[in-house]
């Protein structure tokens, strides 16, 4: 059987087995493939994992409990889980040149919590914490525990502000990190949209954080991690990078030198499902001195590891070590530039004026629209994006004035710069034809325009079939 036939056979058979129990679930899985195939997906955080990655997730590895780490489990019978976890960690270390890799986190947020715990355990001076670490729990009095809680819960974190592209988990109130930590943020320069490194240095000198966090979900430029590490060293902070969005560009050797976080940070966290194109999940890479604390992630912070996900991570990381992944990563960036240039040429304002990673941030205020209106009008026209705050956003965090677009998914589909330029044309058509309505959510767009754009989007997609080897019949 050829590999392509094998893919169709595998997924058809899987759905048949599911259908025998709950046909509505089988139908929803099938319908999701149809929907994904039909969508011009510009969501910067999404991608399409390979059939090998998808299949590695759906099996009896899921049946195993495996708390602990490779070779040191709290459960018996973990030899196959040990195999997949060790392989995933080895691929991760080799791919990123990291001293240590922890592949159990279930998501990016979980990976950040593991990292925060590891840094606190490494750095907080409370004697009670040291005794708790040494498992001398019986020596601790209630007063010791009280002091420990107070110390752990009031440490300082400096992260990138939300409206400059930072992430909720970098110390913002809607996330537990914003309740545990005394947080301050550094921002991008409001005029240029670029990180203002001297301002970051000044904020760090004044605030003296325990943790300096870099990383973003909506910043369209490279970050100089060498400079950020210098700032962290100057104030004695642990330097953490959350590369959830751009891990694929690091893996694909597009971000090297000062722009590769791994040699500069004490600890790096990531998701595995965004530009890295693996299964949904998270991962922590760190320097040797943090490895023991990171490995305590489960059960300190996380629920039991998901062996089937670690298997899929091993497959995805093996894929990312192949030369064609480097070509993919370069195309992601080339495509983002083509999209950005196509938008700018048609008169769309971009935050920072362009991009040098996988995403761009459109300022739709110039069209008289909120992000919410623009997002819906684009969706009506078959173009899937998401709204996002921009620096000094006049419409706040809910309605926003920005639209975030990214190229990892369409690049996996096979789009090149020419198709990205056509996509820019479609986006511009929708934005320039949409009129604001009577509220920040309402808008008017001629349905004939929306239909015409949706048809053009569908024609573009038709040339680049998604999961071409899978025919569900």
Ligand X SMILES: *Cc1c(COP(=O)(O)O)cnc(C)c1O
The tokens describing 135, both together, are: 């498992």
Q: Are residues 295 and 114 in contact, defined by beta-carbon separation less than 8 angstroms?
A: no
161 is a site residue for ligand X (CB under 6 A): no
**Among residues 101, 244, 403, 424, which is the contact residue for ligand X, using CB under 6 A?**
244
The nearest distance, CB 327 to ligand X, in angstroms, is 24
Nearer of residues 109 and 333 to ligand X, judged by Cβ: 109
Is residue 280 annotated as part of the catalytic site, yes or no?
yes
For ligand X, which is the closer residue by CB, 310 or 457? 310
Q: Is the dihedral of CA 343, 349, 201, 274 positive or negative?
A: negative
45 or 373: CB nearest ligand X: 45
* Min dist. Cβ of residue 352 to ligand X (A): 18
**Residue 216 beta carbon to ligand X: minimum distance, rounded to whole angstroms:** 6
- Tell me 210's DSSP state: S
Residue 108 makes contact with ligand X by CB under 6 A: yes
65 is catalytic: yes
CA distance 410 to 415: 6
245 is a contact residue toward ligand X (CB under 6 A): yes
Q: How far is the CB of 413 from ligand X (least distance, A)?
A: 21
Q: What is the DSSP string of 398-442?
A: HH-SEEEEE-HHHHHHT--HHHHHHHHHHHHHHHHH-EE-SSSS-
Please identify, among the stretches 107-115, 301-309, 349-357, 436-444, the one whose residues bind ligand X according to the rule CB under 6 A: 107-115
Select which of 242, 260, 365, 375 is catalytic: 242
* Distance from C-alpha of 381 to C-alpha of 423, rounded to nearest angstrom: 12
Q: Do 199 and 192 form a contact (C-beta atoms < 8 A)?
A: no
Which 3 state secondary structure label does DSSP give 84?
A: helix
d(CA 119, CA 390): 31
Task: Convert residues 208-227 into a mask of x (bound to ligand X by CB under 6 A) and - (unbound).
Answer: -------xxx----------
**Residue of 238, 270, 271, 429 marked active site:** 271
Nearer to ligand X, 85 or 110 (CB): 110
Three-state SS for 179-197 is: HHCEEEEECECCCCCCECH
Residue 119 is given by DSSP the state H
Reading the block at residue 90, the tokens are 């080895």
Cβ proximity to ligand X, 245 vs 372, nearer residue: 245
Residue 109 CB, nearest approach to ligand X (Å): 3
Q: Which two tokens stand for residue 350?
A: 């971009």
Would you call 9 a catalytic residue per the annotation? Answer: no
Tokens read off for 182? 């005394």
User: How does DSSP assign 379-391, residue by residue?
Assistant: HHTTEE-EEE--T
Footprint on residues 165-204 left by ligand X (CB under 6 A):
167, 169
Q: Shortest Cβ distance from residue 118 to ligand X (Å)?
A: 16
Number of residues that bind ligand X (CB under 6 A): 14
> Where on the chain is the footprint of ligand X (CB under 6 A)?
45, 107-109, 167, 169, 215-217, 242, 244-245, 271, 282
Active site residues: 65, 67, 242, 271, 274, 280
């Amino acid at each position: 059987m050829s590999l392509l036939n094998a893919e169709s056979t595998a997924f058809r058979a899987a759905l048949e087995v599911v259908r025998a129990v709950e046909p509505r679930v089988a139908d929803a899985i099938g319908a999701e493939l149809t929907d994904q195939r039909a969508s011009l997906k510009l969501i910067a955080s999404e991608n399409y994992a390979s059939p090998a990655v998808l299949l590695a997730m759906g099996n009896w590895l899921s049946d195993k409990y495996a708390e602990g780490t490779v070779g040191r489990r709290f459960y018996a019978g973990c030899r196959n889980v040990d195999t997949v976890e060790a392989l995933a960690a080895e691929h991760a270390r080799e791919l990123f040149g990291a001293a240590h890799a922890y592949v159990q986190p279930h998501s990016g947020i979980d990976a950040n919590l593991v990292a925060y715990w590891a840094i606190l355990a490494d750095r907080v001076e409370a004697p009670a914490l040291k005794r708790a670490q040494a498992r001398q729990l019986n020596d601790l009095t209630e007063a010791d525990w009280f002091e420990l809680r107070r110390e752990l819960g009031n440490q300082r974190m400096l992260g990138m502000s939300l409206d400059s592209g930072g992430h909720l988990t970098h110390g913002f109130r809607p996330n537990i990190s914003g309740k545990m930590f005394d947080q301050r943020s550094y921002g991008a320069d409001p005029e240029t949209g670029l990180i203002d490194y001297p301002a970051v240095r000044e904020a760090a000198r004044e605030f003296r954080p325990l943790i300096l966090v870099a990383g973003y979900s909506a910043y369209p430029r490279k970050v100089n991690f060498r400079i950020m590490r210098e700032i962290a060293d100057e104030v004695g902070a642990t330097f953490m990078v959350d590369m959830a969005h751009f891990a694929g560009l690091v893996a694909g050797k597009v971000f090297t030198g000062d722009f590769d976080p791994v040699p500069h940070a004490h600890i790096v966290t990531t998701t595995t499902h965004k530009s890295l194109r693996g299964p949904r999940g998270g991962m922590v890479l760190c320097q040797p001195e943090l490895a023991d604390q990171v490995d305590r992630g489960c059960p300190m912070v996380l629920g039991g590891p998901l062996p089937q996900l670690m298997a899929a991570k091993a497959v995805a990381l093996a894929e990312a070590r192949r030369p064609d992944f480097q070509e993919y990563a370069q195309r992601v960036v080339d495509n983002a530039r083509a999209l950005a240039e196509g938008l700018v040429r048609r008169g769309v304002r971009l935050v920072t004026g362009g991009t040098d990673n996988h995403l761009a941030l459109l300022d739709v205020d110039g069209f008289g629209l909120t992000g919410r209106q623009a997002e819906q009008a684009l969706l009506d026209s078959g173009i899937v994006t998401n709204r996002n705050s921009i620096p000094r956003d006049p419409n706040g965090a809910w309605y926003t004035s920005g639209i975030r677009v990214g190229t990892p998914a369409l690049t996996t589909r096979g789009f090149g710069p020419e198709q990205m330029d056509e996509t820019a044309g479609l986006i511009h058509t929708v934005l320039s034809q949409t009129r604001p309505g009577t509220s920040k959510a309402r808008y008017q767009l001629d349905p004939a325009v929306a239909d015409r754009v949706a048809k053009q989007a569908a024609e573009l997609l038709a040339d680049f079939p998604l999961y071409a080897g899978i025919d569900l019949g």
